[in-house]
Structure 1
Amino acid sequence: MGRQHQTAPLLLILPAALLLLLGATITEARVLRRVNDRSLFDVTSACKKASYPDLCKSLAPSKSVGSLTGAAIDVATSKAKEAAAISAKLMNVPGTEKLVKSGLCDCRDTFSSAADSLQLAAKNLKDAAQYDLMQNLSAAMSLASTCSDTFEDWPDLVSPVADINDHLTKLVSNSLDLASTLKN
C-alpha cells in the first residue's frame, strides 16, 4: 500500500515536468528566431531611407540600423578630418590667391568643427541620446555646407575642395537620414 502511495505523486509530477520542458523549448525557439531575425538585417532596405542609398550600401555589412548609422557617422568623421587637412595643406601652396586662402581657412575651420560635431554624434548614438544625436548631426550638416557657401560668395573663385566637400555633405546627410529612423 505504501508503495502505491509513493508512485501517485510521481505520476502527477511527470506531466507537469513535461509541460515545463515543452514551454522552455518553445521560449528558446522564439528567442532563437529573434536572434536570427536580427542577423538577417537588410542593409538595402535601411539604405532606401538615406538620401544617397548607394553610398549608404557601401557601409555594409551592418547588423542593425544603429550600427549602420554608427558606420555612416564614422566614415563622415574621417572625411571631415581629411577635408580639414587637405584645406590646410592647400592654403600653404605657393601662389594660392589671397581670397582662395581665406576661403580655405574658413573651410578648414568648418570641417574641423564638423568633425567635432560628428564625434559628439557618435557618442550620442552610443548613449542613445536621440535628441543630442540629431542636434549634432544637424550641426555637422550645416558646417559642411558652410564651406561651399564661402566660395559661392565669390562667383569667380572655384573651390579646390568642392569634391571632398560634396562627398562629406552626402555622408553627413545619410547619417542624419539613418539616425532619424532610430527609435527614441
Structure 2
Amino acid sequence: MGRQHQTASLPLILPAALLLLLGATITEARVLRRVNDRSLFDATSECKKASYPDLCNSLAPSASVGSLTAASIDVATSKAKEAAAISAKLMKAPGTEKLMKSTLCVCRDAFSSVADSLQLSAKNLKDAAHTDLMVNLSAAMSLKANCADAFQDWPGLVSPVADINDHLSKLVSNSLDLASTLKN
C-alpha cells in the first residue's frame, strides 16, 4: 500500500518541480537584468533622448547605444550619398536653368561633404575617439545646412531637394544626440 502512494504522488510532484524550476529561472533572469544592464539594452529609452525618437526607433533593435549610434550614422551616410546623387542628376536634367544648376551644385558638394564627415564619424565611433566623433557629426550638421542656405539666397527658387535635406538633417541630428550620450 505504501508503494502505491508513492507512485500516485509522482505525477503531482513532477509538475510542482517544473514550476519551481521555471520560477527559479524567471527569478534568475530578473537578477541578470539588474546585474548586467548591457545584456538587455533598451533602444526605445535611448531613442527618447534623440530629437526624432520615431526615426531613431526605426533603427532598433540594437545591442547598445554605440551600435544604435553606428546604425544612425550609417543610415545618415547613405541618405547623404543619395542626396548628392539626386542633386547631380537634377543638375544634368534637360531644361534645368543655370541658376538652379549652380545652386544644386552647392547642394551636391554639401551632401558629399556631409557623407565624408559621417564616414569619419563612423571611424571615430569604432576607434572610441569621442571628441573627434562629436566634431565630425557637428561638421556634418553644419555642412548639410549649406544646401538650404544656397536656396534661401535666391527668393522664389524652390529647392527640389528640400525634403531629402530635411530627412538628412533629422538623421544627422539623431546621430549627434545619440553620440552625445556615449561616455568619453
Question: Same fold by TM (over 0.5)?
Answer: yes
Q: 2:176 maps to what in 1? A: 176
| Cα offsets for 1:121-150 (capped at 9, x unmatched) | 000000000000000000000111110111
Listed as ranges, the matches of 1:100-115 within 5 Å are: 100-115=100-115
Task: Give the gaps of 5 or more residues in structure 1.
Answer: 1-28
- Please tell me whether the aligned partners of residues 91 and 101 of structure 2 are also in contact (alpha carbons under 8 angstroms): yes
Q: 1:144 maps to what in 2? A: 144
Structure 1 position 42, deviation (Å): 1.1
Listed as ranges, the matches of 1:45-64 within 5 Å are: 45-64=45-64
**2: CA distance between counterparts of 1:86 and 1:35?**
49
Question: In the alignment, residue 109 of structure 2 is paired with which amino acid?
Answer: D
Q: 1:155 maps to what in 2? A: 155
Question: In the alignment, residue 145 of structure 1 is paired with which amino acid?
Answer: A
Listed as ranges, the matches of 1:89-128 within 5 Å are: 89-128=89-128
RMSD: 2.0
Structure 1 position 44, deviation (Å): 1.2
Q: 2:70 maps to what in 1? A: 70
Structure 1 position 117, deviation (Å): 0.3
Structure 1 position 32, deviation (Å): 5.3
Q: 1:44 maps to what in 2? A: 44
**1: CA distance between counterparts of 2:34 and 2:96?**
59
TM-score, normalised relative to structure 1: 0.81
**1: CA distance between counterparts of 2:35 and 2:110?**
42
Structure 1 position 36, deviation (Å): 5.3
Listed as ranges, the matches of 1:2-13 within 5 Å are: none
Q: 2:17 maps to what in 1? A: none
Structure 1 position 62, deviation (Å): 0.4
What SS is found at the alignment partner of 1:183? coil
**2: CA distance between counterparts of 1:34 and 1:155?**
57
Report the count of equivalent residues: 157
Question: In the alignment, residue 63 of structure 2 is paired with which amino acid?
Answer: K
Structure 1 position 111, deviation (Å): 0.4
What SS is found at the alignment partner of 1:150? helix
| Cα offsets for 1:6-63 (capped at 9, x unmatched) | xxxxxxxxxxxxxxxxxxxxxxx9x955785323211111011111110010001101
Taking a change above 3 Å as real, the CA distance of residues 33 and 41 of structure 1, as seen in their structure-2 partners, is closer
Q: 1:88 maps to what in 2? A: 88
What SS is found at the alignment partner of 1:46? helix
- Please tell me whether the aligned partners of residues 33 and 40 of structure 2 are also in contact (alpha carbons under 8 angstroms): no
Question: In the alignment, residue 123 of structure 1 is paired with which amino acid?
Answer: K
| Cα offsets for 1:163-183 (capped at 9, x unmatched) | 000000100000000000100
- Report % sequence identity: 84
Task: Give the gaps of 5 or more residues in structure 2.
Answer: 1-28
